[in-house]
Structure 1
């Protein structure tokens, strides 16, 4: 993969050739295929794509939360240390302390038989020198920070006693307990109504500014990307097919899949116009088509697309795309312009 143009900052996280495979009854499948990207200090990177494109597996691979029969390869450099080859004991000191993760569904991520306050304190017990009284005080501060009302009373409540929005706030409180420098957010607003979704997004951005965190934000909602992210990486069939600054990608997509995603979003003032749909469905990981994996669904595809895998190369300043016909896609214009 070609590197992005030189930046003033050194990446906080540098992912290179990240590959995750699973042995299944259908044979070995590749869920994450040579993925590479950088995340800079204080930056929000959006990782977008349809369900099954490999976004969540990418985050779990970074944290090395993939277990047998899954195998993770490549390198994940976090402040100069490779998380992929790091001993498990050392990695435990980084998980939850330096790098934290918000999981997609808090009702399954939270332990249903432990009070929420105790679950926040578990992180503090593992990664801070605070005594019991100090941990309780910090848990109260965190619950206040994420906007959970009557925090002292709700410390002893169980997850089922919280609403969906409050459970997600509790998950954020757990993830922020040790002031991490990198937050991996796996669709943290997907199951929430739009009002709570907006509150959670604003909360994450506010905490990012206060704590100086970097954020990798996984979502399939391009509206969320436009509102929260500095750069975006588009995934399809386990591969990154385009990256760049959000405004640049929205204005001139360089991959047909990105263009299709943008065209499928309803726009204000375009009530009587047809949405641009993407024909077909994403391929099974056990049967990725030869050449560009998007070619069966692509209106720009030619014979080269059906036989040669396009490399992820720089196609314009600070823009990478894996498309043989990126110039034709760019010339077709953005459906949201």
Structure 2
């Protein structure tokens, strides 16, 4: 097998909050292959967005990032700031979750695209303007030449998201980090944006890490997935394998909350309780207070993320029971 494009090992991010240090991302490990779409799934507050920001060290001052993220033989976590700036927005780009706050409201869209081109290409002024227009055409914004000099507030929500994608693609990155790119968009626009990202992935040969809480999006777009809870990856594997036979109770709960064809009059299963705060993560398995399978060992010993079947990992003391329950559901 060829080496992964990105190899993350033991990634950990800590913040100061309320006079104490809390861990938002805890010992996260995963690989991203060439041309692959990896889905990062979980409820709000599970650490998905912080994981992406930690890779590029886009965290508030005072945050500490540890672990290793190997990119072309170099560790992004330990990389000097000057070198990281050449990678960030260049070889690795990011689509942020909310385009209205990520885009600068007082600068035309053209200027914001050209900033990336100026930093990561050798194009002159005329070349940058021509490339900016090409990028707006590429992401499906009509009348691109005219709309280049418009401001973000003059774009609809879907058009703003497309402009964000244009900025992320300006340097023709090899890896795209997409942080919930369809948040707050209606379902028709969501579908258009997802199809656009997949089309551009194929045309440009990119890999994608897609953060989402929508398992339908994962099923439609991703080849592999990693499920996060309380800052840790609790299950990881191929999308088909995880959907067919989840090995962690949290994944089973997420899948049970998704409507299925042919079950219109059946009740959806819900996960009782709420995710723990960063300052109050329980000992053992962090999911144990909400888990129907929990026993004493779950409340005392934190399970390791380990293989259950080839390529399918789970951090659960009772993964076999969970798998049996999924078959019976």
Q: State the match for 1:299 in structure 2.
A: 292
Look up the match of 1:159: 152
List per-residue Cα deviations over 1:168-188 (Å, max 9, x = no partner): 000000000010000000000
Matches within 5 A, 1:175-194: 175-194=168-187
Q: CA deviation at 1:9?
A: 2.1
Give the equivalent residue in structure 1 for 2:220. 227
Matched, 1:204 2:197: yes
What is the Cα deviation at residue 61 of structure 1?
A: 0.1
Q: 1 CA distance for matches of 2:16 and 2:62?
A: 6
* Contact 1:26-1:286 within 8 A present in 2 as well: no
Q: TM-score, normalised by structure 1?
A: 0.96
2:244 to 241, 251, 268: 251
SS of residue paired to 1:330: helix
Task: Go from structure 1 to structure 2 and tell me whether the alpha carbon gap of 1:222 and 1:196 turns closer, same or farther (over 3 Å shift).
Answer: same
Please state whether the residue corresponding to 2:251 is helix, strand or coil: helix
The CA deviation string for residues 7-66 of structure 1, in whole angstroms up to 9 with x for no partner, is: x22100000000000011151110000000000000000000000000000000001111
1:267 Cα deviation from its structure 2 partner:
1.4
Runs of 4+ with >3 A deviation:
none
For residue 242 of structure 1, what is the aligned residue in structure 2?
235
Q: Which residue of 1 aligns with 2:140?
A: 147
1:27 maps to 2:20: yes
Deviates more, 1:31-40 or 1:69-78: 69-78
- Deviation digits for residues 282-336 of structure 1, max 9, x if unmatched? 001101001000000000000000000000001111011000000000111258x
Q: How many angstroms apart in 1 are the aligned matches of 2:96 and 2:65?
A: 20
Aligned residue for 1:3? Answer: none
C-alpha separation in 2, matches of 1:314 and 1:132 = 52
CA contact (8 A) 1:15 1:35 kept: yes
In structure 2, the residue matched to 1:9 is 2
Q: Report the secondary structure of 1:224's partner residue.
A: helix
| Paired position in structure 1 for 2:164 | 171
Aligned to 1:4: none
Which segment is superposed worse, 104-113 or 262-271?
262-271
**Counterparts of 1:44 and 1:334 in 2: how far apart (Å)?**
27
* Structure 1 residue 69 displacement after superposition: 2.1
1:116 aligns with 2:109: yes
Q: Could you list the runs of 5+ residues in structure 1 that have no partner in the other structure? A: 1-7
Q: Is contact 1:44-1:217 (8 Å) kept?
A: yes
CA distance in 2, matches of 1:334, 1:78: 39
Instruction: From 287, 299, 323, give the equivalent of 1:330.
Output: 323
Q: Deviations over 1:185-242 (max 9, x none)?
A: 0000011000000000000000000111000000000000000000000000000000
1:69-122 deviation digits (Å, cap 9, x = unpaired): 211000111111100110000000001110000000000000000000110011
Q: Structure 2: how far apart are the matches of 1:143 and 1:100?
A: 17
Q: Whole-Å Cα distance in 2 between the matches of residues 267 and 28 of structure 1? A: 42
Answer with 19-28 or 258-267: which moved more. Answer: 19-28
Contact 1:310-1:324 within 8 A present in 2 as well: yes
Whether contact under 8 Å (1:253, 1:334) holds in the other structure is no
SS of residue paired to 1:333: helix
Q: Give 2:67's aligned residue.
A: 74
Query: Is the Cα contact below 8 Å between 1:291 and 1:310 reproduced in 2?
Result: yes
Residue 265 of structure 2 is matched in structure 1 by 272
Superposed displacement of residue 268, structure 1: 1.7
